[in-house]
Structure 1
Amino acid sequence: MGSSYQLQQQAIDAEIRSLEGSIRALKLRRNTFAPISSLPNEVIAIIFSFLRARVTLFAIKPGKKPDGLAWLRVAHVCHQWREIALNQPHFWSHVDFTAVSSAGAAEILSRAKTVPLHLEVGAPVGLWDDARFGPFQKELQDRVPHICRLAISAEPFHLHRILKGLIMPAPTLEFLSLASENDHRGGAAFVPDSLFDGSTPRLSSLELWNCDISWMSPLLGSLKHLEIRSPFKWPSLSVWLDALDQMPQLKTLALHRASPVAPWGLIPSEVERAVTLPSLTHFEVSSPARYCGFALAHLILPALTSLCVVAESSRRDYSDVQEILTFVSRHAHGPQDSRPLQSVLVRSNGMGVEIVAWTSPDVHVELSEQISVSDARHSGRVSFSITNSDDWSPRVDTGTLSAVMEALPLDGLVTFTAQNRFNRQFWLWHAPKWPLLRHVRLTPAAERGFREMLMEDNKRRGGPLLPLLKTLVLVDVALLERRNLRLCDALTKRVEQGVPLETLDLRKCLATGHAIELLSKIVVDVLAPEKTYETGSDLVSEAGARLIYVEDEYSEVEDYDEDDADTGSDDEVQDMDGDTSSDIYGEGEAVYW
C-alpha cells in the first residue's frame, strides 16, 4: 500500500515539474514579444553597466559605502537578463571579501575570469580566524597578476601576513590602499620593499593609514597620488627630500603627521635645499605647526592650486602658528593662479578655527552643515586650520586670527562668510583692505562688530568703508527690538554715506514683523524668514531665543542689554595707519570666541 502511494506521489511530482517547465517556456516565449527584448544582448549589457555602483574602494573612510552588488537586481527580472548578467566578466570585477562569504568570493572571482579586478577587505579585529583568513589569502595571492585596485584594512598581525604573502609582480595594479587597524597588542605595520617583488609599473595612487614605509620603497617612484596618515615614524628632512626628488609626476600629496621633523629654533626663510614638484596641484599637511612650516619651507610648487594646512599649536598663545604664516602665504597664491582669492569662510571647528579661501567670487557655504563645510575645505584654493594639542585648549584669540587674515592675499575679496566673534577693531583694521567686498554672511558672533563698523564714517580715509557692499546675509540672528534698532541705525548710516545696502537676507533668522517692516524702509530687498516671531511662536520662546542666539558667551554684556554706549569693550579706536595687526588691541583687549 505504501509503495503504491509513493508511486502515485512521484507521478504527480513529475507532472508538476513538467507543467512548471511548460510555464517557464511559455514565459520565455511571451518575453520575446516585449519591446526591450528586441535589443541585442550587447546593448542590454551596456545598459546594465550604468547600474553598477561606483565603488571608491576605500572602506576605512567615513560615510556611506555603496553596495557593489546592488546592480544584481536586474538578474532577477527574467531569464535573458540573468544570462546576460552572469556572462559578463567585467560585471564581477569588484569583490568585497568582508561583505561575502569565502564561497561567494570564489564564485564571483571565477565569473570575473581575467578582467582587471577591484578587491577590498576590511578584516574586523579579532573576528577572522584561520578558516576565514586562509581562503582569502590564497584567493588574493592567486589573483595578483589581475588586480587593478586593492584596498586592505586589517589589524597589524593580519596585515603583516597579507603583505608578506604578496611577492608576485603586480603588472596591472594602479591603486593601493593599506590601513592598519589598532588592536590591544599595538605594534607597527610596515610595508616591505619586497611587496609585489618591487614591480608595480602602473601603480599611480598609494594611500597608507597607520603604516610605515621606507621613503626609498620602489612603490613610490611612479606615483601621481600619495597619502600617508599617522605612520609610526617621522621621516628625516634629507630622506624626505630625496624621496620627493624621485617623484616628479606627483599631482596630489597628503601627509598627516608624516612630514619631516623640524629642528628647534625659528625656521629660516631661505633654506639650503628645496625640492621642486612640477606637477603637484594639491598639497595637504597636518602636523604640529612648526613641522607644517618646515615642510612648506622646503618645497617649490609651481603648479599648486589647492593647499590644505592643519597646524597643531603646542603653545597657548599660538605664537608657533604665527611663525609659519610666511610659508603658508608663499603657497596660498601664485603666478599659476588665473584669479585672485575672492571668497573666504571663517568658522570654528570645535577645537580651533578654520579659514578657507576660494578664487571664485561667490562661494556661499551653509555654516550649519558639517558635510558641506568639509567639501568646501577640499574645494578651496587654500584651507588653514588651527588646533591646539593641550587637554584644555584655549580658544584662538582675535590677534592670531587677524594675523592669519593679514598673511593671506585678500586684496580681491568679494564674498566673506564668518561665524566667529570679530570685534569692531578687527573690522576697522581689515575693511579698508577689502575694497571689492560685495557679499557678507554672518552668524550672531560676528554680526555685532560688523554692525558697529558700519557706523563709522571713515572720513580720515576719504570715503565709507566697504563701498561696494551690496548684500548682507544674517544666519541664526534673533532680531528682537534692541538689536534690530541698532541694525537699522547702521543700515541708515550706509544710506547717508551714499552706499546703501541692496539686499538683506534674513531667511535663517528669528525676527518680528515690526522689525521686517522697519528694515524694509531702509533696504530695498529684504528677504524675510518664512515665519516671523509672532507667527512662529511655536518655534521658540523669547527666553529660548536669548539662549539660542546668544552673541558671545564670553562677553559680560549681551547685545540685548547694550543700552549704554560705554558698556562695550570697543570704547576707542586708535589710528591704525602703519601699525601691525597685532598692535590694534590694548592690554587684555584680545577677545576669545
Structure 2
Amino acid sequence: MLSTNFLERLKPSSVFKNTRRSLSPTTKKASQCPISCLPDEILSSIFVLCLPKIEETRAEMNGSIMKRSITGQRPLWISSRSAPLNVSHVCRSWRSIALSTAKLWSKLAIQGTTSSRGYHAKRELAILTSFIQRNAEAPLDILVDINVPVDLASMDTYMMQCIQLLVAQKHRWRSVHLVYCFCQVRIIAPILAGLVQEASPSVSELYFCMHSCSVEKNRDVTPTFFHPSLPGLTKLTLFSRGTQYDLSGCPQLRELSITSPTSLKDVKQWLIRCPTLETVSFGRVNVYNSLEKELNHGTATSSIETLTSLRSLSLYFDIASDLEYRVSNRAINGFLSSFSLPYVSNLILSLHASAKVGKCLDIRPIICLLKASNPPIISLDIHNFSIPSDNQSPDKSFGAPEQQIADLCRLTEGVQQLIINGDTVDSILNGVDIEEAEPRSHDYANLWPKLEGLVVTNPREITVKSLLRFAQEHSSPDMNAVGFVRRYSKVRSQVDVGKLDCSSDSVRARSD
C-alpha cells in the first residue's frame, strides 16, 4: 500500500510533467519562429540598428535632467526599453549575442546631476567599466553632461574617476559630446586636453556646448580659446558664448553648425578658411556687430570666392532695432555678392527681427546670388525677405520688380520645398504689383513643377486666396503640403500654421 507521503510527492511531480508537456508545443513553435532561425551575425546587425541615435541620447540627457533624475537610480542615458539592454533581456541566446557584439556597448556617458537620492556617480562608474569591458576595441561615442556644482564633495572623487576612465580610452574616441554648466574647467580639462594638446585622429564628430552661465560666473577659469587638433574631424557643432575657435587642426571638416551669436564678418571668414565645408549653419548672425565700413569694404573690387564644396547654407539673421535694419540690406548685399555657390542645393536665409522692426529685408540680393551662381536649389527658405515695389526702393541697380520676380521663378524652378514671404508670393502668384488688391489670372502649370511643400510666412488675406487657387490648379502630382504661417517664431515648434488640404478635390483652408 502506497504511503500518504509518497502520494503527496507524486501529485506535484505529475502536475509538473503535465505542465511541461503542455508547454512543449509552444516552445517548439517559438524555436521555429523565423527570427529564431536567423544566424547570429544577422541578429547582431539587427541589434546594432536598434541603438538610439547619439543626438537622441544627448537630447534626453539635456532635457529636464534635474526633474527626471529624481525618479530613478539608473542614469538617463541607459534605458531598459532601448538597446542594448532590451535586446539582452529577452532570452539566454539573445543575451549571449548581445554581450558578444562590441558595437552595442560603444556609447559611454557621464551625467553629472543631483537628486533627492544623491549623486549616482559611483553607480555610473561601475556601468562605464562594464560597458568598456564589453566593448572590446570598438570605436566609442563619448557624452559628458555636467550640470552640478563641483563643490559637492560626495561626487567629486567618482566624477574624476569617470573622466579618467574615458580619457584612458581616447585612442578609440569616435565622437565627443561635451555639455557643461555650473562647473569648473578642472573637471572637464582632461577631456579638453585630449582634444587640443594631442592629435586624436579617430574623432570624427565633436559637439561642444558651454552654457552662458559658465562664462558669466566662472570667467576666470573658462577657456577663451579652443584649438582642437582633430585631423579626422568631419562634423562640428559649437555653442559657447565668448570663446574663440581655430579650426586649422581640422583639415577634413565637412559639417559646421554654430548656434552662438556670430558677426557677418566672422561668417565670411569661416567660409573662406574652411574650403572643405559641405554643410554650414549659423543660428544667430548679428549683422550689425561689425562696422559698416568693414561689412561693405571692397564689395565692388574684391574677388568672388567660389565655394565648390558647399551643398547646404543656413544663415539666421538677427536684427533688433531700426538702426540695424537700415544697414542690414547693404551689409547682406555685400556679403552675398562676395560668394559664388554653384553646387548649393539647400539654402536658408532667414531674418529674425524684433517686433520693433516689423519690416522685411530686400530679397533682390538673394536673386542676384542665384543668378550669378545658378545653383541646383532643391530646398529654399527665405523668410522675411520680400521684393519691394518701385516706390519703396529707390535703388534701380537690381532691375524692375517684375523682372526680378520672373528671374526668381526661373532660378527656383527645381525647388521641392519652399518657405517664402507672403508679399513675394502675392507678386508671383498674382502676376501683379505688390500693392494691387485683386489677383489676376495666372498660369500655374509651369510654376515650380517639382514642388512638394510650400509654406508662406506673414501672409495677407489675398495670399490665402492665391494659395487656394494655386493648390487647385497646380499640376505637380507630388505636392502634398501647402500652407501659410501667421506667426513665425525663431523656434520652429512655436508657430501658428494654417494648412491647405490638397488631398481632396475640393481644396479648402483649415487652421490647426
Pairwise TM-score range, normalised by the shorter structure: 0.5 to 0.7
SS at match of 1:183: helix
CA distance, structure 2, for counterparts of residue 474 and residue 241 of structure 1: 34
Do the aligned partners of residues 125 and 331 (structure 1) sit closer, same or farther apart at CA in structure 2, a change above 3 Å counting?
farther
Counterparts of 1:235-274 in structure 2 under 5 Å? 244-257=271-284, 261-264=289-292, 267=296, 269-274=299-304
Counterparts of 1:552-571 in structure 2 under 5 Å? none
Q: CA deviation at 1:259?
A: 7.0
CA distance, structure 1, for counterparts of residue 238 and residue 440 of structure 2: 46
Do the aligned partners of residues 312 and 190 (structure 1) sit closer, same or farther apart at CA in structure 2, a change above 3 Å counting?
farther
- Residue identity opposite 1:152 in structure 2: L
Q: CA deviation at 1:236?
A: 5.4
Do the aligned partners of residues 417 and 178 (structure 1) sit closer, same or farther apart at CA in structure 2, a change above 3 Å counting?
closer
1:110 aligns with 2:133: yes
Contact 1:32 1:38 in 2 (8 A): no
Counterparts of 1:516-535 in structure 2 under 5 Å? 525-526=505-506
In the superposition, the TM-score normalised over structure 2's length comes to 0.60
Tell me the percent identity. 16
What is residue 369 of structure 2 aligned with on the other side? 331
- Residue identity opposite 1:120 in structure 2: L
Residue-by-residue CA offset, 1:478-508 (whole Å, 9 max, x unaligned)? xxxxxxxxxxxxxxxxxxxxxxxxxxx9869
What is residue 48 of structure 1 aligned with on the other side? 47
What is residue 141 of structure 1 aligned with on the other side? 167
1:121 aligns with 2:101: no
One of 124, 131, 137 as aligned partner of 2:157: 131
Do the aligned partners of residues 112 and 82 (structure 1) sit closer, same or farther apart at CA in structure 2, a change above 3 Å counting?
same
SS at match of 2:237: strand
One of 236, 239, 255 as aligned partner of 1:206: 236
Q: CA deviation at 1:217?
A: 3.6
1:429 aligns with 2:433: yes
One of 92, 96, 101 as aligned partner of 1:83: 96
Q: CA deviation at 1:208?
A: 0.5
Do the aligned partners of residues 116 and 74 (structure 1) sit closer, same or farther apart at CA in structure 2, a change above 3 Å counting?
same
CA distance, structure 2, for counterparts of residue 124 and residue 242 of structure 1: 33
Contact 1:287 1:312 in 2 (8 A): yes
Q: CA deviation at 1:109?
A: 1.8
Q: CA deviation at 1:300?
A: 2.7
SS at match of 2:147: coil
Counterparts of 1:317-356 in structure 2 under 5 Å? 321-322=361-362, 325-332=363-370, 336-338=374-376
1:228 aligns with 2:255: no
Runs of 5+ in structure 2 lacking a partner?
1-15, 65-75, 113-122, 320-327, 448-453, 485-498
Do the aligned partners of residues 321 and 152 (structure 1) sit closer, same or farther apart at CA in structure 2, a change above 3 Å counting?
same
SS at match of 1:101: helix
What is residue 34 of structure 1 aligned with on the other side? 31
1:96 aligns with 2:93: no
1:306 aligns with 2:346: yes
CA distance, structure 2, for counterparts of residue 331 and residue 285 of structure 1: 14
Counterparts of 1:169-568 in structure 2 under 5 Å? 169-183=199-213, 185-186=216-217, 189-190=222-223, 192-193=225-226, 195=228, 198=229, 200-211=230-241, 214-230=244-260, 234=263, 244-257=271-284, 261-264=289-292, 267=296, 269-288=299-318, 290=328, 292-313=332-353, 321-322=361-362, 325-332=363-370, 336-338=374-376, 359=378, 380=379, 382-386=380-384, 409-412=407-410, 427=430, 428-429=432-433, 435-436=443-444, 446-448=460-462, 469=473, 525-526=505-506
CA distance, structure 2, for counterparts of residue 452 and residue 194 of structure 1: 52
Q: CA deviation at 1:330?
A: 3.2
In the superposition, the TM-score normalised over structure 1's length comes to 0.53
Residue-by-residue CA offset, 1:316-370 (whole Å, 9 max, x unaligned)? 5667833xx44322334665545xxxxxxxxxxxxxxxxxxx74xxxxxxxxxxx
CA distance, structure 2, for counterparts of residue 423 and residue 248 of structure 1: 35
Contact 1:423 1:448 in 2 (8 A): no
Q: CA deviation at 1:177?
A: 0.3
Q: CA deviation at 1:384?
A: 2.1
CA distance, structure 2, for counterparts of residue 220 and residue 178 of structure 1: 15
Contact 2:341 2:373 in 1 (8 A): no
Contact 1:422 1:445 in 2 (8 A): no
Contact 1:119 1:149 in 2 (8 A): yes
CA distance, structure 1, for counterparts of residue 134 and residue 225 of structure 2: 32
Do the aligned partners of residues 331 and 33 (structure 1) sit closer, same or farther apart at CA in structure 2, a change above 3 Å counting?
same
SS at match of 2:313: strand
Do the aligned partners of residues 192 and 433 (structure 1) sit closer, same or farther apart at CA in structure 2, a change above 3 Å counting?
farther
- Residue identity opposite 1:56 in structure 2: E
Residue-by-residue CA offset, 1:209-247 (whole Å, 9 max, x unaligned)? 12555454434432111112215x75856xx66654442
Q: CA deviation at 1:74?
A: 2.0
SS at match of 1:309: strand
Contact 1:124 1:154 in 2 (8 A): yes
Moved more, 54-63 or 33-42: 54-63
Contact 2:226 2:245 in 1 (8 A): no
CA distance, structure 1, for counterparts of residue 172 and residue 458 of structure 2: 57
- Residue identity opposite 2:239 in structure 1: W
Residue-by-residue CA offset, 1:277-303 (whole Å, 9 max, x unaligned)? 210111122234636555434333222
- Residue identity opposite 1:264 in structure 2: E
Contact 1:258 1:287 in 2 (8 A): yes
SS at match of 1:59: helix
CA distance, structure 1, for counterparts of residue 241 and residue 170 of structure 2: 21
Do the aligned partners of residues 304 and 140 (structure 1) sit closer, same or farther apart at CA in structure 2, a change above 3 Å counting?
same
CA distance, structure 1, for counterparts of residue 347 and residue 483 of structure 2: 28
1:162 aligns with 2:188: yes
SS at match of 1:218: coil
Q: CA deviation at 1:446?
A: 4.0
CA distance, structure 2, for counterparts of residue 474 and residue 212 of structure 1: 41
Q: CA deviation at 1:105?
A: 1.9
Do the aligned partners of residues 398 and 335 (structure 1) sit closer, same or farther apart at CA in structure 2, a change above 3 Å counting?
closer
SS at match of 2:232: coil
Residue-by-residue CA offset, 1:3-39 (whole Å, 9 max, x unaligned)? xxxxxxxxxxxxxxxx9xxx9xx99xx7898235554
What is residue 393 of structure 1 aligned with on the other side? none
- Residue identity opposite 2:31 in structure 1: A
CA-atom RMSD in angstroms: 5.3
Q: CA deviation at 1:122?
A: 2.1
CA distance, structure 2, for counterparts of residue 215 and residue 438 of structure 1: 47
